[in-house]
Amino acid sequence: MCGIIGYIGTKNATPILFNGLKRLEYRGYDSAGIVTLDKEFHMKKDVGKVDEINTRLNFSDLPGTLGIAHTRWATHGGVTKENAHPHTDCEGKIAVVHNGIIENYQELKKNLVSNGHKFKSQTDTEVIPHLIEEIMKRGKNFHDSTLSALRSLEGSYAILALHKNERKIVAARKGSPLVIGVADGSYFAASDIPAFLEHTKNVVYMHDSDVALLTDTGMKVFSLLEGGDVNRKVDTVDWDIRQAEKGEFNHFMLKEISEQVETVQKAVQQTKEVVDGVVHSIRNAHGIFLIASGTSYHACLAASYILSKLNKMHVNVVLASEFPHYEHFLTPKTLVVAVSQSGETADVLEAVKYAKARGCKILSIVNVVGSSLTRTSDSFLNLNAGPEICVLATKSYTSQLALFTLLAYALSGKLEEGKKRLNYLWNVIYHLTSATVKEKIKELAEKLKNKEHIFLIGRGLEYTTALEAALKIKEVSYIHAEAFAGGELKHGPIALVEDGTPCIVFVSEETEKEILSNANEIKSRGGYIIGVSPTNNEVFDFWLKVPEANNENPIVQIIPIQILAYQLAVLRGLDPDHPRNLAKSVTVK
């Protein structure tokens, strides 16, 4: 987590770094800092969000056309000014920003301290500038010292390093994302493309263990793995800067929820050749694992129900962080489908590494092409949802569901029928995200905003929707929300129901009879029933109407709850784009 950005060029660096940081804030927002260089370093850093710090410290007077910046999601050391990046060496000649975790920092720090180095923070990052300083003392130049320092780091990093006497940025990555932006006479290096998208669409995806040297005259990449200079090609992204801006919306969350009218369609715009290729690998696999974390995991769970229904196919769905426990079942004929919006989730990458080591084939489903996951996979499918900035996954979830559903249709030889059904959903989503529906959901949010608990139930496919809906509510409104399979209530959870306990019930044609009977059991114990259903029912105290969409129910039923979660956060005075303690890309294990 954490976001980093660097710039070298002819323009004033601070506005570029400041705007970049704001676009990277979804990665962490507990403290931030910028250092620029002209004849000397000029640095400001503090705790808080980028705008708050700017109000207090005013970044705009930092001079120079070269600089690096950081927005933090704390891992090592509390949220303090001292722990905010950039970090410097003893003499203040080297400045570093870092995203990732240096696992052997304690050992390195111990050695450096015994060599007389004075540390100012509790972070793991601070060992990096001190290490470079220590190596430089032995006569090596800044670039070579940085390469040597990187060789002794264990763990993951994307770093940008500056030396006070040199007009260059050393940018390196291992396990954490870093992309280079190339424009006329200037270079950018950042955790993600939107950070510099307003300046250039030309990008170089750094490979793992690449170290780039960015100067006024060019860019050179050295590979720590290959042990020499390497060529990395410049790609052009077709993202539009407007996709990375809020536009008329108050928050990215609401913008991205509304974008689902189009993103579901974009997800299924896959060529027949691509789909046929995936269908072929699925059919030829002996054992299929779907692995993911968080919301992407819920999409995999839904997919397992859809594949069982449409294709009578069994797949294993495993949380990425739990995957290594399946070691004994993996063979070179196993297909591992790794699903991740960012393509940078450490748990997913680790699980993939594990599977690759056992010879498994890796197919990934991602939203960020060029991410670590796409590069480490044998093949990948692009969700095409455009940048998802809000920490909460919304549009990427429905895109994952749409793509899985399309594959399920394709596997039963009904690709065109699947495309047609999924394309038709734009109509339904358009209605569900309309002002009238949002008003109705706001009415419900008013009733729920002071509740301590919300329960959610569903059966079959709708159980997976209940799980995702609970995650959405809890992570943005901080109301305890918990999902149960309808049939499990009587095995324990019903003991939690009290007078007025809200319970959201997801109803489909297939599960109607049984889930409504569960709703009645809750109601007779005082529960307040909210039905997400095609038809009204006397058991509902509040009805959110959604059309029956059969296999596509997960796509349509989650949308009102995404809006509800958003409204709850706003009514509780919270910032939906920046929920506490969370970051968009979880690049730590």
Please, is 116 exposed, middle or buried when counting C-beta atoms within 10 Å of its C-beta (0-12, 13-18, 19+)? exposed
Region of 231-239, 254-262, 272-280, 291-299 interacting with ligand M6R (CB under 6 A): 291-299
List 294, 370, 386, 554, residue binding ligand M6R (CB under 6 A) = 294
Catalytic residues, by residue number, are: 2, 584
Rounded-to-integer distance, Cα 446 and Cα 236, Å: 46
Rounded-to-integer distance, Cα 346 and Cα 332, Å: 23
List 293, 321, 551, 553, residue binding ligand M6R (CB under 6 A) = 293
Q: How far is the CB of 379 from ligand M6R (least distance, A)?
A: 18
Nearer to ligand M6R, 522 or 569 (CB): 569
392 is an interface residue for ligand M6R by CB under 6 A = yes
Rounded-to-integer distance, Cα 518 and Cα 72, Å: 45
Nearer to ligand M6R, 71 or 340 (CB): 340
Q: How far is the CB of 56 from ligand M6R (least distance, A)?
A: 29
> From residue 1, how far is each of 47, 249, 293, 569, 582 by CA, in Å?
16, 25, 15, 23, 9
393 is an interface residue for ligand M6R by CB under 6 A = yes
CB-CB contact of 509 with 557 (8 Å): no
Nearer to ligand M6R, 259 or 475 (CB): 475
Rounded-to-integer distance, Cα 216 and Cα 63, Å: 17
Q: How far is the CB of 410 from ligand M6R (least distance, A)?
A: 23
CB-CB contact of 82 with 40 (8 Å): no
List 189, 244, 348, 352, residue binding ligand M6R (CB under 6 A) = 348
| Side chain identity at residue 515, one-letter code | I
Region of 50-58, 135-143, 236-244, 290-298 interacting with ligand M6R (CB under 6 A): 290-298
Contact mark string toward ligand M6R, 258..287, x via CB under 6 A:
------------------------------
Nearer to ligand M6R, 341 or 374 (CB): 341
Helix (H, G, I), strand (E, B) or coil at 112: helix
Region of 37-45, 202-210, 386-394, 523-531 interacting with ligand M6R (CB under 6 A): 386-394
Nearer to ligand M6R, 384 or 585 (CB): 585
| Side chain identity at residue 293, one-letter code | S
Q: How far is the CB of 113 from ligand M6R (least distance, A)?
A: 35
Nearer to ligand M6R, 475 or 552 (CB): 475
Q: How far is the CB of 388 from ligand M6R (least distance, A)?
A: 8
List 295, 334, 364, 511, residue binding ligand M6R (CB under 6 A) = 295
* Strands, sheet with 166-174, edge to edge from the N-terminal-most edge strand: 87-88, 94-102, 155-163, 166-174, 210-215, 218-223, 228-230
Nearer to ligand M6R, 128 or 476 (CB): 476
Q: How far is the CB of 244 from ligand M6R (least distance, A)?
A: 17
First to last CA, the chain: 11
Region of 3-11, 179-187, 207-215, 294-302 interacting with ligand M6R (CB under 6 A): 294-302
342 is an interface residue for ligand M6R by CB under 6 A = yes
Q: Name the helix (H) or strand (E) containing 67.
A: strand 66-72
* Strands, sheet with 480-485, edge to edge from the N-terminal-most edge strand: 480-485, 453-458, 502-506, 528-533, 542-545
Region of 220-228, 289-297, 311-319, 431-439 interacting with ligand M6R (CB under 6 A): 289-297
Helix (H, G, I), strand (E, B) or coil at 86: coil
Q: How far is the CB of 392 from ligand M6R (least distance, A)?
A: 4
Q: How far is the CB of 584 from ligand M6R (least distance, A)?
A: 7
Nearer to ligand M6R, 161 or 365 (CB): 365
CB-CB contact of 391 with 578 (8 Å): yes
Q: Map the footprint of ligand M6R across residues 544-583, applying CB under 6 A.
A: 582
Q: How far is the CB of 26 from ligand M6R (least distance, A)?
A: 10
Region of 133-141, 194-202, 232-240, 292-300 interacting with ligand M6R (CB under 6 A): 292-300
For the stretch 61-75, what's the b/e string if a residue is b when 16 or more beta carbons lie within 10 angstroms of its beta carbon?
ebebbbbbbbbbbbb
Rounded-to-integer distance, Cα 83 and Cα 75, Å: 10
Q: Name the helix (H) or strand (E) containing 218.
A: strand 218-223
Nearer to ligand M6R, 393 or 425 (CB): 393
Q: What is the DSSP string of 481-549?
A: EEEEEGGGGGGTGGGG--TT-EEEEE--TTTHHHHHHHHHHHHTTT-EEEEEESS--TT-SEEEE----
List 47, 69, 360, 391, residue binding ligand M6R (CB under 6 A) = 391
336 is an interface residue for ligand M6R by CB under 6 A = no
List 405, 586, 587, 588, residue binding ligand M6R (CB under 6 A) = 586
3-state secondary structure 344-377: CCHHHHHHHHHHHHCCCEEEEEECCCCCHHHHHC
Q: How far is the CB of 393 from ligand M6R (least distance, A)?
A: 4
Q: Using CB atoms, what's the residue nearest to ligand M6R?
A: 294
β-bridge mates for residue 66, sequence order? 8
| Side chain identity at residue 353, one-letter code | K
Q: Map the footprint of ligand M6R across residues 474-493, applying CB under 6 A.
A: 475
Nearer to ligand M6R, 437 or 582 (CB): 582
Nearer to ligand M6R, 54 or 400 (CB): 400
CB-CB contact of 531 with 462 (8 Å): no
Q: What is the DSSP string of 248-292?
A: T-SSHHHHHHHTHHHHHHHHT---HHHHHHHHHHHHH-SSEEEEE
| Side chain identity at residue 331, one-letter code | T
# of chain residues touching ligand M6R (CB under 6 A): 16
398 is an interface residue for ligand M6R by CB under 6 A = no
Dihedral angle sign, alpha carbons of residues 21, 26, 28, 30 = positive
> From residue 409, how far is each of 366, 413, 554, 563 by CA, in Å?
20, 6, 16, 29
340 is an interface residue for ligand M6R by CB under 6 A = yes
429 is an interface residue for ligand M6R by CB under 6 A = no
* Residues at the site binding ligand M6R, with contacts judged by CB under 6 A: 293-296, 340-342, 345, 348, 391-393, 475, 582, 585-586
